[in-house]
Amino acid sequence: MKKLFLILLGTILLQNISFAQDTYMQQMQADALKLDAAKSIGDYQTLANDFARLADFKKTDWIAYYYAAYCNAKTGWLYMQSPDKITPFANLADVQIKTAISLIDTNSRKADLSEIYCVQSMIYRAKVYINPMANGKKYGPAANQYSKRANQLNPENPRAIYLLGWGKYNTPKLWGGDKDKAKEYFQKAKELFSKEVRSSFLQPTCGENDNLEMLTKYDKQK
């Protein structure tokens, strides 16, 4: 009787674990797809909180921490005109992206590491916005380095190329900025974005709309 009870208990536990895993996967996929339509600070913060809860539930899945960090970094970017609000989001994103990197084999997972470095670059950009005069020299070059490293790890990553273009576009000409060169990056990123196919939420594909906005911005300023 005791043996039968233990067997039944084990079966119930396995079923509960399987159900929880299925629910986790479904929610991850649903939230990842919502990123394509996210625009406002509220959109990104809702998703950041969702991904953070999923990350805390799973604890071993880098992609949940990656998405949470991405959404918090985007929030920092959207607060560019209110720099006093950026710090908590940038700092939280920094913790989350470092957790993501700790969960992968950095020697074999080059494409995943490229995605992580893109978000790290975004986080450092957000930290520049907090106080450009004080933080620019420290975090600006670091942001550029992470964009370059992301591109080196995966030359087909459109997010890395977009960020290289963003850096060229928004850097003063005196310090190496070049809007025409930036457009070349944006055009190349556009081509690569058009080839991306979301086969799984484990494959980040966000950023296409941001790249198109920069191309539009370039055309308007000419």
- What is the tens place of the pLDDT at every residue in 63-121? 999 999 999 999 999 999 999 999 999 999 999 999 999 999 999 999 999 999 999 99
pTM: 0.88
Instruction: Give me the sign of the Cα torsion angle 135, 151, 107, 201.
Output: positive
Label residue 18 by pLDDT band (50, 70, 90): very low
Predicted pLDDT of residue 173: 85
Predicted pLDDT of residue 199: 67
Label residue 11 by pLDDT band (50, 70, 90): very low
Per-residue tokens: 117: 């470095």
Q: What is the maximum span of the chain, computed from C-alpha positions, in angstroms?
A: 82
Cα 126 from Cα 81, distance rounded (Å): 11
Q: Give yes or no for residue 1 having a pLDDT over 80.
A: no
- 111 Cβ partners below 8 Å, 6+ apart? 153, 154, 157
**CB atoms closer than 10 angstroms to residue 121:** 27
Instruction: Give me the sign of the Cα torsion angle 41, 46, 47, 48.
Output: positive
- What is the tens place of the pLDDT at every residue in 128-152? 999 998 998 899 999 999 999 999 9
Q: Which of 56-60, 75-79, 158-162, 163-167 has the lowest mean pLDDT?
A: 56-60
CB neighbour class for 78 (10 Å; exposed up to 12, middle 13-18, buried from 19): buried
